[in-house]
Structure formats: C-alpha cells, structure tokens
Amino acid sequence: VNLLKVFQLFPTLTHQTFLGFFTQALVTRIVVILGLQLIWINFMLVPVNIINEYPIIGSQEFRTVNMRALFMVVMYLNILFTSLVIPFSIFYYETQFDTKIGLNRSYTPYLASFLSTLFCWIFIGGNYAIFKEIHLGSISKETCIRLTLLGYINEANCASDPLIFNGTFSIATAGLLLFIGYIFNVLFIGVASVLIPINYLISIIRRPKLIDIHLYQEKKKEIYVISKALSNKGENLKRKFDQSSKGLESEFYTSKYLKSWQETRALKQKIYKYKSEVFALSSYFENLEERFRTKGQNITFIIIKLVQMFFTLLLTISIYATLIIHIVVKNPPNYSGNQLINMIFIIFSMILPIYIGSCICYTWNLLAKKICYCLPIHVLVKSQTPMNSMIFIIGIVLIPISNIIYITNLSNSWLFKSDLYYIFLLASNIKLNYKLIPNQVLIYSLFGISICSIIIHLFSFLWDTSISIQEEIPKMLNKYLNDQESGNSKK
C-alpha cells in the first residue's frame, strides 16, 4: 500500500509545472512523501519486532535485527523530521512568494528551522539534565539479566530495592517523547476512538431519505441563495487577502510586521471557515441530488456503514482491552511461539497504529472546525488538501508516535518480553514518568476522556435530533438564508 501511494504521487513530482530546481511545490511534495515513509517505518516497528522474536516458518533465524538500535535510529529521525524538516518546508511553502515578509524571504525558512531545532534540542537536553533518573523499584531476575545484557545496569545493582539509577541520554529522550505522546493521545484516542464508531451509527440513522419534487425545488432555491452569498463573500475575502499581501517589501519593522501578521492570521481564520462553509454546501447539494435521483440510500449503504462501524468498534475495543489487560494481568502466561498467534498479532500490530493515526487526524480535524478554524487543518480530500495542511498532519502524527508504538507493543508484551519492551520499561520509569505511567494515571485519564466524549456527543445528538441535516440546510449556512429573508422584508 505504501509503495503504491508513492507511485501514485510520483507523476505529480515529475509534472512540468514543478521541474524548477527546489521549487516551492516540489520541496513540499518530497517532504510529504518522506514524512509518509517515516510514519510507515514507525508503524512497522512492532510487527518487525514480533517476527524478530519468533520468526515465521521459512524466515531467517532468531533475532536477526537489533531492535534497540533500529528503534533509536527511528526515534532520532522522528525528532529531526519534526524539528527541522517540517518547519523548513512549511515556511518555505508559505513565504517563497509572500511579499509581506520584510526579511529576505530566502533566509526565513532556514531561520525558522534553525530556531525550532535549537529550541527542540535545548528542551531535550534540559529533560536529560532534570529527569534522567530511573525509578524501577524491585525487579525480577529475568528483567535484571535482560537489562544487564542491554548494558543499562550492572547485575550487582539488581538487589537494590528500590532500584534507582541514571538512564542514558537516549532513554531519557524516549521517556520524554513517551510522556508527550501520552498527553496528546489521552485526548486524541480518548475522543476519536469512541466518536468514529458512533458517527457511523449516526450516519445510518441520518441516512438520505426519499424527497419529492416540490421539496427538491424548494431546497435548490435555498442552495442558490446561499451559493450566491458565498460567492460574494469569497470575492470579498480574496480582495482583502490580496491587499494584505502588499506589505513591507524591503525593510523589517517589528511593530508593523506584528500588526500585519495578526491581521493576516485573523483573515486566514475567516478563509478556513469560509472553505468549511463551501464544503458543507457542496456536501449538502450532493446529498440532495442523491436523495432525489436515487430515491434515497439503499440497503448497500447501510451494510457498508455497519461494516465500518463494527470494524472501528472492534479496533476501539482492542485498544481498551490492551490497556485493561496491561493493568490487570500481572503474571502473564508463558508463550509457546505458536505460528497462528504470531500471524494474528502481526496483522493486529499493523492495523492498530494505522487506526490510532486516523484517530489523531480525526480529533485535529474536529478541533480545527470547532476552535475558530484557527488550525491549518483541512479534510483529506483528493486534489483539495493544501500541501501545508498535509505537512502539518504528518507532524501531529509524528509527535505522539512513540506512544502509538508503546500502546501497540503492549498488545503483545504479555506474550513475550523483547528489547523494545525493556526500552519502554525504562522510558516509562524515568523521573518524569514514574508517577504517571506505571501507576496508570494517564490510562485512567484516557478512559475518563472517552466516557465524557460519549456523553457529550450523545447529548449533542439528542439536542439536535429535531433538526436533521438531511431535511434542513446545515446550521452554519442558515445565516445566509436569514440575511436574505431580512433583506426581502426591508424591501
């Protein structure tokens, strides 16, 4: 799937429009492809780890891959990509033809990437200086032997209770990324993992119904009024945006630049909201046409939505089952290396991180629509998603990706203890984490967020149950109809 996606994007890279050396669009597309590859490499760590521990029939010998080295290399690649490559590509994409920037535009991406990288490594270095101490408590003989073989402790220190020692720079960094990822994913997974299956159910309840010719004509008139109003609004926003682009050309005045930046930011928020309104009207129009021409949705639609609902519900249950088993099962059973169980966990370990990544994108998309449209997030639609939005989405998936690997690895850690398990054991017990992750504080917080999301979403659904999006214009567009009615009344 990954290779097919690359081949699909390759013609875009070789299009004659982007053949200039290091053009704006070319650099951005290369970064998007590299970011997708890096995400897939992260997602494949756990399946590779399973095969590395218990090779399938006909494969190579036991532990042919050094998982500790592979994990550390991928971890530092994640840091490099999010702190250096993504800021550079975003600013390069935004400022190459932006005349408002008073600084030399060719220097702006390099300055932004340098400052973001500097801040990132200062933050990581400060974390190592303050939180490098690891609190393990009492450990078993097996754990002592494995940690000794990995070179993290001396066997003579295993008798200490509690066992406290200084971790390496890499372990402290992994612990920091695990903490940040956990904080992010408490919100991401807690919200999206329960809302995605619920929304499939709601889409079945609110599926397109049959519509008669009179109501169809009435709705077409409303759509015409709204589309005309949106067209005028779009022209007005375009004119304002063009005017805002005529700013400081050669000199950089801080006060004027900050004022211009604030005005541009407010204007971009309005543009994001405007795009959302256009998308809502387009979706409503397509839905209306489908209801009239196909006589509503048939049984195929219901079956597809039910399959999607049960599949996502199964994945949601698997996430929480993984976390609950991690809390409850203190003495896991011995694993015999059954080939069938191997294949089940390999497939599960490939699907689960993809679903968690989808939860992240879903939650950010939800936040972008609710919080003043101030986040550079757009719905991932073919040929309609801006490049800077795709880069931003890749960044927000990479930031908590260590926690995604951690949760995925928990699903098989009760079967066997790999090098990856012991890395996460140390990372979750650094001074920053040992009172939160081992005590399951963050897991309980995730459960709480999920329950609150279900209650709020169902309450919102019941509150709006009298206004179906199939029968009425979407709420965000009602103001244009009200403006038209008020204008007619004045006349």
pLDDT at 73 (0 to 100): 93
Share of the chain above pLDDT 70, in %: 73
pLDDT at 47 (0 to 100): 85
Task: Judge residue 462's burial from the number of C-beta atoms within 10 Å of its C-beta, 0-12 exposed, 13-18 middle, 19 or more buried.
Answer: exposed
Task: Write down the pTM of the prediction.
Answer: 0.75
Q: How confident is the model at residue 173 (pLDDT cuts 50, 70, 90)?
A: very high
> What separation, in Å, do the N-terminal and C-terminal C-alpha atoms of the chain show?
59
Which amino acid is present at 457?
H
Lowest mean pLDDT among 255-269, 270-284, 330-344, 358-372: 255-269
Q: Which of 114-123, 276-285, 342-351 has the highest mean pLDDT?
A: 114-123
Residue 377 and residue 66 in contact, taking contact as beta carbons nearer than 8 Å? no
76, two tokens: 């530092």
pLDDT at 444 (0 to 100): 80
Residue 302 and residue 206 in contact, taking contact as beta carbons nearer than 8 Å? no
Dihedral sign for Cα 359, 476, 470, 235, please: negative
3-state SS, 286-336, equals HHHHHHHHCCCCCHHHHHHHHHHHHHHHHHHHHHHHHHHHHHHCCCCCCCC
Name 271's Cβ contacts closer than 8 Å, sequence gap at least 6.
237, 241
Q: Give the three-class secondary structure for 134.
A: strand
DSSP state of 54: S
Share of the chain above pLDDT 90, in %: 9
pLDDT at 102 (0 to 100): 47
Dihedral sign for Cα 308, 313, 318, 320, please: positive
Q: DSSP readout, 57-85?
A: TTS--TT-S-HHHHHHHHHHHHHHIIIII
426, two tokens: 């140390």
What does the pLDDT look like over 247-272, one tens digit per residue?
444 444 444 544 565 666 677 777 77
Name 284's Cβ contacts closer than 8 Å, sequence gap at least 6.
223, 469, 473, 474, 477
Domain boundaries, given as residue ranges, for the chain: 2-490
CA dist., res. 331 & res. 142, Å (int): 13
Name all contacts of 235-243 with Cβ < 8 Å and 24+ positions apart: 237/267, 237/270, 237/271, 237/274, 240/267, 241/267, 241/271
Name all contacts of 127-131 with Cβ < 8 Å and 24+ positions apart: 127/172, 127/173, 127/175, 127/176, 127/432, 128/169, 128/172, 128/173, 130/431, 130/432, 131/172, 131/175, 131/176, 131/430, 131/431, 131/432
If you average pLDDT over residues 112-120, what whole number do you get?
88
Lowest mean pLDDT among 93-102, 211-220, 330-339: 93-102
Beta bridge partners of 133: 166
If you average pLDDT over residues 417-432, what whole number do you get?
85
pLDDT at 21 over 70: no
What does the pLDDT look like over 139-152, one tens digit per residue?
777 788 888 888 88
251, two tokens: 């000199």
Name 154's Cβ contacts closer than 8 Å, sequence gap at least 6.
148
Beta bridge partners of 137: 163
DSSP state of 437: T
CA dist., res. 125 & res. 448, Å (int): 33
The residue with greater pLDDT, 442 or 230, is 230
